[in-house]
Amino acid sequence: MRILIAGMDGYLGWPLAMYLSRRGHEVAGIDVFLRRSMVAEMGGDSATPILPMSDRLAAFEEVFGRRIRFVPGDMRDFDTVSRVLYEFRPEAIVHLGEQPSAPYSMSSRQRAVFTQMNNVEGTLNLLFAMQETCRDAHLVKLGTMGEYGTPNVPIPEGFFTIEYRGRTDTLPFPRQAGSWYHQSKVHDSNNIMLACRVWGLRSTDLMQGVVYGTRTEETAADGRLCTRFDFDQAFGTAVNRFCAQAVIGHPLTPYGKGNQKRGFINIVDSMRCMELAILNPPAGGEYRVFNQFTETFSVNDLAAAVQTAASAAGIPTEVIHPANPRMESEDHFYEADHQRLLDLGLAPHSMSDALAGMIGDLAVHKARIQARREAIFPKTRWRGFEDAVPDHGRMRVHRCQPEPAPREAGMSAPGPR
Ligand code: USQ
């Protein structure tokens, strides 16, 4: 099958390209390398030393004898997106090319606006280009479990049937995102649903949980093929961060009470889930949702599991509870369905089996993690902005000043109408 991967340079995009190519698919990718620059902007760096894309592609061809095509390009540029689709004629498109960090999106107005513009515009461009050039292609879109938030009722896979005032309907389950980033994915979901309804496109929206892991079969085959691994406070995610923290003797950092629960998935299972979605496409016009995670834990559970695995490796660790920088429930009900990918054949790996290997893999890069130690402790607060000024191409940027009071600004204060 011809498969296009948007966001091929990322944590999931690069291993997915290799995974699919090795299984006989014709793979092409597009990426503008924003992740590399945004992580650097937040003071972080990948724990694993990742190569430039051209070297990655050459190494993959040398090791596996297969060629992956790549186009450097921005999903916000419609002409580029349209040209890539026209020339490659994909049968499936996996869209991973978005700004993925909740803390990044909450750190300033500019970054919030950038996150939503980048993510929503990129997906819209893709939908319009698909409608023009490859209507039958299957869009596999990376959504997030964070779209649902933490409601006090079980979470279904996208839709639920309700009875209201004597009538019954099957409707999208309410979305209650907790960050501007997660909210950008809600907007994407709504836009994709509309494109399927009015244009007859087909799409699988994967509500993925927090991914963890250092390796897949392909990344482990040669040091040059490793994928990135972030551990900074903005782009590192819980399990990965705790493992990196353990390796350098930094205390593990469950925020607040640490009882907040989330769904988690091994990077190996994430690859398999995307493959299963691709191999089992929905009908034309169908928009479907799979919840893509395999286990549920609280962040305290994670810290305890990483502490145990580190201790077995001879690394003593301390657990601290920094004040929670986020606005989120720390004691809540959490129960989410995740049956549809299991029904398609997913055989999940468990986190407890993966942690020792992760700590061993990261120990090799201890010096690189130690060098970015300052980027680990949480500093992006959900209430209160940093004064940061990123610049990503077409993003309009100016310094964030406090709003002047109306009188100081020479305006009359609004009076009663
Ligand atoms: N957390 C801690 N300590 C840390 C880091 C995180 O307690 O050092 C807590 C957070 O407060 C949160 C939970 O762990 O309650 C998950 O945080 P996270 O940073 O691992 O994940 P999140 O910000 O939710 O976002 C990540 C990815 C995002 C993806 C999402 C899936 O960055 O792209 O969409 O996981 S989900 O969480 O299911 O929405």
Nearest CA to ligand 1 atom 12: 260
Which pairing describes strands 287-292 and 202-208: parallel, antiparallel, or unpaired? Answer: parallel
Residue 406 has pLDDT above 70, yes or no: no
How far, in Å, CA of 202 to CA of 197, rounded? 9
Output the six-digit token pair for 185. Answer: 């994915």
How far, in Å, CA of 227 to CA of 389, rounded? 28
Q: Which atom of ligand 1 lies nearest, measured to the CA of 146?
A: 39
Residue 398 has pLDDT above 50, yes or no: no
Which pairing describes strands 26-31 and 69-72: parallel, antiparallel, or unpaired? Answer: parallel
Which pairing describes strands 261-266 and 295-298: parallel, antiparallel, or unpaired? Answer: antiparallel
Residue 289 has pLDDT above 70, yes or no: yes
Is the CB of residue 326 below 6 angstroms from any atom belonging to ligand 1? yes
Question: Facing residues of 162 across strands?
Answer: 169
Output the six-digit token pair for 386. Answer: 């940093």
Is the CB of residue 298 below 6 angstroms from any atom belonging to ligand 1? no
In the annotation, is 185 catalytic? Answer: yes
| pLDDT at 384 (0 to 100) | 72
Is the CB of residue 144 below 6 angstroms from any atom belonging to ligand 1? yes
How far, in Å, CA of 309 to CA of 28, rounded? 38
Task: Give the model confidence (pLDDT) of 79-100 as tens digits.
Answer: 999 999 999 999 999 999 999 9
User: In the sheet that 69-72 helps form, which strands lie side by side, from edge to edge?
Assistant: 69-72, 26-31, 2-6, 92-95, 138-144, 202-208, 287-292
Task: Give the model confidence (pLDDT) of 217-236 as tens digits.
Answer: 999 999 999 999 999 999 99
Of the residues 133, 185, 216, 253, only one is catalytic, namely 185
Between CA 239 and CA 296, with CA 216 as vertex, the angle to 5 degrees is 35
The mean pLDDT of 313-337, rounded to a whole number, is 97
Q: Which of 141, 210, 257 to mutate to test the pocket of ligand 1 (most atoms within 8 A of CB)?
A: 210
Angle between helices 267-279 and 13-22 (to 10 degrees): 60
Closest of 40, 16, 37 to residue 28, by C-alpha: 16
Residue 417 has pLDDT above 50, yes or no: no
Is the CB of residue 102 below 6 angstroms from any atom belonging to ligand 1? yes
Task: Give the model confidence (pLDDT) of 12-71 as tens digits.
Answer: 999 999 999 999 999 999 999 999 999 999 999 999 999 999 999 999 999 999 999 999
In the annotation, is 19 catalytic? Answer: no
Q: Confidence band (pLDDT; 50, 70, 90) for 385?
A: low
How far, in Å, CA of 363 to CA of 248, rounded? 8
In the annotation, is 216 catalytic? Answer: no
Of the residues 80, 115, 133, 144, only one is catalytic, namely 144
Is the CB of residue 338 below 6 angstroms from any atom belonging to ligand 1? no
The structure tokens 């129960």 sit at 335
